[in-house]
């Protein structure tokens, strides 16, 4: 996993090349909604994109992480099918429902049944390199989904230069990223991480949580400000040295949200002194997002090493899939 995390900047570079080289066959048209269906490492890119397009799209963009699609999916829906393996059973079922509903379906995968169905149905299908854990291939799937949105005129192509700048940022800040990741890792060893962010970075926060789950083999949770001020904040009532708070921050976050975060810190430090802040770097959304993603990916790997666990192993997921295959 260390090699895969280290290769992330190059993966982004390759992902841009794949997207720029792909020729779409589906004609451009307008839609009433856009949905990305995918789970785990294949679906998290959709959650991050959902945050990115929040103030850019005039139509709804949603992420589906289930077997079933909502009743609103129909002829005027663009559905992006994101399955790294191409064999995710929930995604395959959702894909079949979308085809039945006559939605416009575009696929992002490394192969499998998704690619087979796409070929049979004549669907646009962007193929990315296979053979790696889906969670280590976020760059491939996320970037291709951006190219899909751009093809249909839903977003501009300025994300390309922003991602190129992000690659340069990650490479020039490599030593500092490792330094920050190692420092945070020391604060999280033997603790339960609690991740907070502004709503615009919830996808990034979820990514961090999922990486801790899969790579570090730890439980943790996340929430967003201001929503947590209306519920979870009340739950901070007992001192607990096993809790470690990580707040993902951006200088661009809304001023009232930042004020809330500062007040949260004052309240929470009564119950744990282990409060950490990760400030993003970069001028664009994608520079800031990928900076935090790369930093927290390293944290998850360093945590795995500190805990003496295999960051690649996902035997319980393999067991679950095997047992489901018997049903």
Q: Is 281 a catalytic residue?
A: no
Active-site choice (151, 191, 202, 214): 214
Given 28, 175, 230, 326, the catalytic residue: 230
Q: Which is nearest to 67 in space by CA: 45, 43, 96, 101?
A: 96
Question: Does the bond joining 226 to the residue before it have cis omega, within 30 degrees of 0?
Answer: yes
Residue 151 is among the residues annotated as catalytic for this protein: no
Identify the CA nearest to 76 among candidates 93, 97, 59.
59
DSSP assignment string, 260-303: HHHHHHHHHTTT-S-EEEEE--SSSHHHHHHHHHHHHHHHHHHH
**Contact call for residues 173 and 291 (beta carbons, < 8 A):** yes
Catalytic residue among 56, 75, 182, 321: 321
230 is catalytic: yes
Residues forming the active site: 214, 230, 321
């Amino acid at each position: 996993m260390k090699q895969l995390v280290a290769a992330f900047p190059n993966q982004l570079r390759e992902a841009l090349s794949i997207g720029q080289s792909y020729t779409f066959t589906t004609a451009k048209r307008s839609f009433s909604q856009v949905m990305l269906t995918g789970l785990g490492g294949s679906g998290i890119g959709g959650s991050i994109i959902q945050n990115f397009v929040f103030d850019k799209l005039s139509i709804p963009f949603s992420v589906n992480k289930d077997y079933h699609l909502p009743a609103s999916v129909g002829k005027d829906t663009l559905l992006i099918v994101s399955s790294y393996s191409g064999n995710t059973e929930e995604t395959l079922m959702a894909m079949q429902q979308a085809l039945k509903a006559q939605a416009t379906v575009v696929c992002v995968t490394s192969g499998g049944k998704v690619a087979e169905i796409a070929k049979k149905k004549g669907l646009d299908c962007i193929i990315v390199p296979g053979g790696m854990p889906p969670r280590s291939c976020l760059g491939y799937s996320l970037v291709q989904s951006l190219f899909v949105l751009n093809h249909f005129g839903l977003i501009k192509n300025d994300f390309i230069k922003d991602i190129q700048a992000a690659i340069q940022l990650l490479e020039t800040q490599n030593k500092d990223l490792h330094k920050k990741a190692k420092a945070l890792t020391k604060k999280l060893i033997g603790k339960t991480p609690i991740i907070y962010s502004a709503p615009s970075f919830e996808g990034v926060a979820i990514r961090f949580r999922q990486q801790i789950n899969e790579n570090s083999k730890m439980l943790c949770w996340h929430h967003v400000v201001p929503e947590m001020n209306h519920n979870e904040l009340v739950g901070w009532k007992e001192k607990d040295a096993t809790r470690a708070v990580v707040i993902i921050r951006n200088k661009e976050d809304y001023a009232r949200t930042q004020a809330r975060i500062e007040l949260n810190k004052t309240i929470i430090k009564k119950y744990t002194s282990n409060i950490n802040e990760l400030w993003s770097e970069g001028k664009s959304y994608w520079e800031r997002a990928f900076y935090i993603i790369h930093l927290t990916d390293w944290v998850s790997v360093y945590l795995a090493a500190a805990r003496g666990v295999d960051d690649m192993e996902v035997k319980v997921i393999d067991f679950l899939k095997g047992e489901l295959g018997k049903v």
